[in-house]
Structure 1
Amino acid sequence: MKGWPAWTVFVKEWVDALRDRRTLAVVLLSSVLMGPLVLIALSGLVASFESRAERREVVLDGIEHAPTLVNYLQRQGFAVKPAPEGFEQKLRRSELGDPVLVVPKDFESALRRAEVPVLVLVSDSANKRSEAGSGRLQRLVAGFNRERSTLALALRGVSGEVLEPVRLGEKDLANPQTRGTQITGMLPFFVLMAVLYGALNAALDTTAGERERGSLEPLLMNPASPLSLVLGKSAAVSAVALLIAVLSCFSFIPAQWLLRSDTLAALFQFGWREALWFVAIIAPFAAALSALLMAVAIRCRSVKEAQASSAVLILAVSLLPLVGLLNPGGEERWHLWVPALAQNTLMTRVLKGEALGLEPVVITLAVCAVLALLGVGFVARVLRRAAVR
């Protein structure tokens, strides 16, 4: 090999990786498009809930027994519909998307006697459409109760304010960008998965794949040192993983244009700035992950064996980002020392509009650099031994 052996190996491996179009197509579909598709599907679900709420309909069973309640609901701008026959079965089968308020026959007479009639709210927690409307019905019944109580007190010359001796105000400390992480908080996970599966196929093919095809031994007969070969291979795998990550990050920008829910569209704040920060944060992790996958696969004699051996690493990268979600205490300092979890933490900070800080960036860079050096060193050592044989 003339010139710089590492560069020559890098170009060769990069061309080979891009030539495998079938694998690239699978990776692109599974890693790059998965996040936007999930967001679009989620926006469709939320949009259906919003459209149902905009219809402002209430379903009552025994509508003829409660003219007072019907009058109140109509004054609130709701259309009152009678419940269909067999509504419980329809709720169970998700054929009915609205909860049903069951009115007893003695509703009006009980109100006149100052008794407390019992209204039954029928819904199915497995039926998400009906479950979403239950809260609205509960608020309407609570408003009806307040109105009846206020009128009863007014007839006795008592102010209705005695029912509310204390008023509660709300103050939300989260800015709009922080509230948006309720939706965009899933993006770091999709980007990490894109890096993982982008590096996986290339790392396994350039190590165990070459050994299985019998092309690794002839490569070692070249005058280039094993370290140069490993550096070129590792750089190519990292470049493939980073390419998939870049496509994944920037795919969320046009995905926003397809959101059907106005609520999600208002909360979803992800632009070019956030995408560029994501790429900068994920690049060192791509290099470290590529080196580790190559270190796992270099001792395997086939791609299938390498896939089985790398299952633990794949599982760790997939589960570590979930630690931040399952930790009720929020972000902790040790999160920055754990790969994948550290990148998820920093990307979440970007989404919240918070400053990353110099120390967290240095820590994550140092950890990724150490892991990359260990992985490259291990692979070079194995190749050196194979060359000696």
Structure 2
Amino acid sequence: MKAKWRIVFLKEFRETMRDKRSLGLLLLFTLMYPVMLGVILNQQIKRATKPEREGIELAVIGAAQAPNLMVQLKQKNISVEQKGPMDEDAITQLLRSRKVVAVLRISDKFAENYQAMRPARVELWFDSAADNGARQRDIEEVLHAYNSSIASARLLAHGVSPATVAPLQLQRYDTGTTAARSAGLIGSILGFLFFPAFICGLSAAVDSTAGERERRSLEVLMSQPARTWELVTGKWLAAGALAVIGITLELFLAHAILSWLPLEEIGMSWRVTTFDLVMVCLASVPLSLFASAVQIAVAMNAKSFKEAQSMLSFVVMLPMIPGIAVSMLELKTALWMYAVPMLSNQTLLREIAKGEAIGALPFVLTFFSAMLPALAAVAFATWRMKSERYVLAV
């Protein structure tokens, strides 16, 4: 003979699975964020690699005045397109046409000032509204390098070492790994991967409590030879199972997308292994059960189905507050973070993405930080269902 809580669980789970419309919406919500994350990162990669794919087109007015500069520009894979004299309006129209990244206008007195060792004027025209920031910086780097080479040559011609005007030589060494750097950048959006825990089981939790009470089917269910805790446990596990399925699908889809994208093109990487992800999913099971337990407990205190939905629309936002607060305050990872539901899951995945060995304690704390409150919420819901005022909605 099956356990009575198991019979209730199967009954609620089958009823939920029959609602194709709700399942479609839940599936859409589960898949939407990982796909959106992949699209955003893919666009960043395309923008970062755009100069290499398309090259840099630079229009130069008065190129004959600075032949050495033109050679240095071409050595940096910058295509130089020589132009005749142009006024400001013509330059503006050329930039707005998006045919060139920038326009370099060299003064007619450039060669004269250059030979007289006076500052030779060059003008760099660009459109800040265009998406050419990276390519524009490449052009400016060539100009700065050309300027420095001329200054060094002139100092040597006067018997002065260029090191005289550069008393400090700064060398920078970055010991941060790409995994740690990317975890810091992606860490702010990792928290949303756990949001399905509070969404996927919401409909089942409300319908099996406030919904059944309005339809008067709860009275029939409670008249059966089953104890209150068995009824609540069955409903709780049915809603929790949907949340577990939703969060697992989203984590694995996000993992597949991040592993497939060439993140190294933007100085990032995703080093989370499949085994690490499985461990994170197991540690996140209590989060789904906690979310379903809270939703059932809150829905039982609502007088109607609509009131339960309204109350839970605010409740589902509360778990996001700790993660947002930690991100805004820029707090370093501490042990207490693993004792806060939802925040513990975010912190756990972020630290694993950094490629650091965190040990077993964070997994244990993450598991029980949500499991203990979940059991407390189920106990409260069991006590609440014993009240005749709740069953009769008075």
TM-score of the pair, normalised by structure 1: 0.86
What is the correspondence of 1:169-318 to structure 2 with a 5 Å cutoff? 169-182=171-184, 184-185=186-187, 188-256=190-258, 259=261, 263=265, 267-318=269-320
Say which SS state the counterpart of residue 318 (structure 2) adopts: helix
CA distance in 2, matches of 1:19, 1:264: 45
Q: What is the Cα deviation at residue 154 of structure 1?
A: 2.5
Alpha carbons 1:298, 1:382 under 8 Å: kept: yes
Q: Residue 102 of structure 1 contacts residue 121 of structure 1 at CA under 8 Å; is this kept in 2?
A: yes
Q: Which secondary structure does the structure 2 equivalent of 1:223 belong to?
A: coil
* 1:46 corresponds to 2:45: yes
1:152 alignment partner, one of 146, 151, 154? 154
User: Residues 290 and 76 (structure 1 numbering): CA distance in 2 closer, same or farther, change over 3 Å?
Assistant: same
Mark the runs of 5 or more structure 1 residues left unpaired by the alignment. none
Judge conservation of contact 1:183–1:268 (CA < 8 Å) in 2: no
Cα deviation for residue 289 of structure 1 reads 1.2
Aligned with 2:385: secondary structure? helix
- Give the corresponding residue for 2:33: 34
> Residue 116 of structure 1 corresponds to which residue in structure 2?
119
Compute the RMSD of aligned alpha carbons: 3.1
Greater shift after overlay, 319-328 or 15-24? 319-328
Deviation at 1:234, TM superposition (A): 0.9
Where does residue 167 of structure 1 map in the other structure? 169
Which whole-Å CA distance do the structure 1 matches of 2:233 and 2:322 have between them? 27
Taking a change above 3 Å as real, the CA distance of residues 154 and 277 of structure 1, as seen in their structure-2 partners, is same
Asked if 2 retains the 8 angstrom alpha-carbon contact of 1:33 and 1:251, the reply is: no
Higher-Rg structure is 2
Matched, 1:73 2:73: yes
**Do the aligned partners of 1:195 and 1:242 also contact (CA within 8 Å) in 2?**
yes
1:200/1:290 contact within 8 Å kept: yes
Q: Is the 8 A contact 1:184 1:269 kept in 2?
A: no
CA deviation profile, 1:309-362 (whole Å, cap 9, x unmatched) = 113222222343233332334223442332211211111111112233444344
Query: How far did residue 126 of structure 1 move?
Result: 4.9
C-alpha distance 78-96 of structure 1, shift in aligned 2 (>3 A): closer
| Cα displacement (A) at 1:141 | 1.9
User: Given that residues 206 and 308 in structure 2 are in contact (C-alpha distance below 8 angstroms), is that contact kept between their aligned partners in structure 1?
Assistant: yes
Give the alignment's TM-score, normalised by structure 2. 0.85
Instruction: Please list the CA deviations of residues 153-185 of structure 1 after superposition, one character each: whole Å capped at 9, or x if unmatched.
Output: 222233333343332222222223223325543
Match of 1:15 in 2: 14
Percent pairwise identity: 25
Question: 1:308 & 1:107 partners in 2: Cα distance?
Answer: 71
Larger mean CA deviation between 234-243 and 247-256 belongs to 247-256
Match of 1:323 among 322, 325, 332: 325
Determine helix, strand or coil for the equivalent of 1:267. Answer: coil
Distance in 2 (CA, whole Å) between partners of 1:355 and 1:25 is 39
Decide which moves more: 215-224 or 79-88: 79-88
Gap change, CA 1:365 and 1:15, over 3 Å in 2: same
Mapped pair 1:371 → 2:373: yes
Contact kept, 8 Å, 2:271 with 2:354, in 1: the verdict is no
Secondary structure in 2 matching 1:321: helix
Structure 2 residue runs without a partner (length 5+): none
Secondary structure of residue in 1 paired with 2:376: helix
